[in-house]
Structure 1
Amino acid sequence: MGRSKNQRNPVNVLFGWVRRQSVKVKSFLGVTAALFSLFFLWLLVRDHDHLFVAAEIVHAIGIVVLIYKLTRQKTCSGLSLRSQELTAIFLSARLFCSVFLEHDIHTVLDTATLIATLWVVYMIRYKLNTTYNRELDNLPIHYMVAACALLALFIKPYTIHYVLDRFLWAFCVYLESVSVLPQLHMMQKAKMVEPFTAHYVFALGVARFFGCAHWIFQVIATGGRYIFLIGSGYFWPPMVLLAEVVQTFILADFCYYYVKR
């Protein structure tokens, strides 16, 4: 009886129908859903800067979920230490830029998120290291950091700020776009996703959607001028857009399966 009710559930019926479609149809449905969501946000949110703040708040909520898991369950099973270390690195770079360039709510949110991330790294590395799946978390992150740093040396914004500020700005944009890869790689190898870890990654996906919506709306509202407000340079604006798209697609696949389950 319970199984037949579950099969008649509209959500299960909908996802069952989607699963039976071809890749092209699934891609079309995904793009359509994303465009509809963007249109809804465009009508709902008047100040588009609020979307960027919302993205940072949702990221912070994801960290709170991890803190709850570590403190209540006393285990870090399923969590990627390497993803948390990459997150701490790019947040440190972004906070440095924020302190010297912005001095606003973003600085406060980045500070809180960085402190929480460092606490998570400490718990995984030292307090709960016996539950850490080290053999599954083996994606080499030093290559990722080096590649992002090298890319930031050559492709960075041209503004009135110091070279170090511009380098760190580009570095954190590039590193953030790939920081979740070790976590997703670990999930694929484990073939089982811890619930709280899944909630955390889903929060990252929602945050990325808000961040992407912020970029799109600002570009539309300024008639394309916003792209050059983030810094000039022949390759810099396209690289920022590419980094946003890469991170969005990396998380979109996980979010689809998260909602489906």
Structure 2
Amino acid sequence: MVFITRYLDLFFTFVSLYNSSFKIIFIMLNMCTLYLILTKYKETYDKDGDKFRIEFLIFLCVTLAMAFNAEFTILELLWTFSIYLEAVAIIPQIYMAYKSGTFDKDVSFYVLMLYSYRSLYIVNWIYRYEVETFYDPIVIVSGFVQVCVYLIYLSLYWCKSEENGSKDTVKKEALYPLHI
């Protein structure tokens, strides 16, 4: 949902062949990932354990997009929705990992890479503001929210793995004091 709603401008605005090509490639790769999740890896999904109500996040992002946007047009609303949704998109996965007690080093490394990626965007925003005097408050606030979500997960993992005595996997029992 994040990238399909973000890149709908493909059909209405041409920036460059490079830009259009990579948007199409990115959407196709995301669709391939979704296909694999729904087919090849569907047995790894714990439907009974997945109790997170994602519709609340989607509703929140739609509401924010309607209330806080740069321009009240369909494409702008969809783009703004995608920015808000990207900031919170990992929350269901973090919730599922927390509830199942599967905080392992691979998941934490993945979240650390996402954190690093978004942190580099923050550096880019500072640079663009200094050089071009450009800033987008929607993107900046959403980016900081996203970084905070990643930091919460990483802090939970590292604190609890220290208590557990292992950084490979955090046992569910070590998480009980932080029951959600």
Q: How many residues align?
A: 158
2:80 aligns with 170
**Structure 2: runs of 5 or more not aligned:** 168-180
Instruction: Summarize deviations over 1:25-51 as a string: whole Å, max 9, x none.
Output: xxxxxxxxxxxxxxxxxxxxxxxxxxx
Distance 1:150 1:92, change over 3 A: same
Amino acid in the other structure paired with 1:94? R
1:117 aligns with 2:16: no
Which residue in 1 is equivalent to 2:119? 209
Deviation of the 1:101 alpha carbon: 5.8
Whole-angstrom distance in 1 between the partners of 2:120 and 2:10 = 19
Report the secondary structure of 2:110's partner residue. helix
Change (3 A) 1:148 1:101: farther
* TM-score, normalised via structure 2 length: 0.73
SS at match of 2:126: helix
Find 1:226's aligned residue among 134, 140, 160. 134
Q: Are 1:244 and 2:157 matched, yes or no? A: no
Greater relative CO (CA pairs within 8 A, separation 6+): 1
Q: Tell me which of 133, 136, 143 is aligned to 2:49.
A: 136
**Same amino acid, percent of matched pairs:** 21
> Which residue does the alignment assign to 1:155?
68
1:180 partner letter = I
TM score, norm. by length of structure 1: 0.53
How far apart, in 2, do the equivalents of 1:101 and 1:150 lie?
29
Deviation at 1:252, TM superposition (A): 2.4
> Per the alignment, do residues 206 and 105 of structure 1 end up closer, same or farther by CA in structure 2, a change over 3 Å counting?
farther
Residues 202-243 of structure 1: CA distance to partner in whole angstroms, max 9, x if unpaired? 221121111121112212223xx312xx5xxxxxx3x43221
The alignment yields a C-alpha RMSD, in angstroms, of 2.6
Alignment of 1:1-261 (within 5 A): 89-97=1-9, 100=13, 102-103=15-16, 105-158=18-71, 163-222=73-132, 225-227=133-135, 230=136, 237=137, 239-255=138-154, 257=157, 261=167
Superposition misfits of 4+ residues, deviation over 6 angstroms: none
Report the Cα distance in structure 1 between the residues aligned to 2:15 and 2:27, rounded to whole angstroms.
17
Q: Which runs of 5+ in 1 are unaligned?
A: 1-88, 231-236
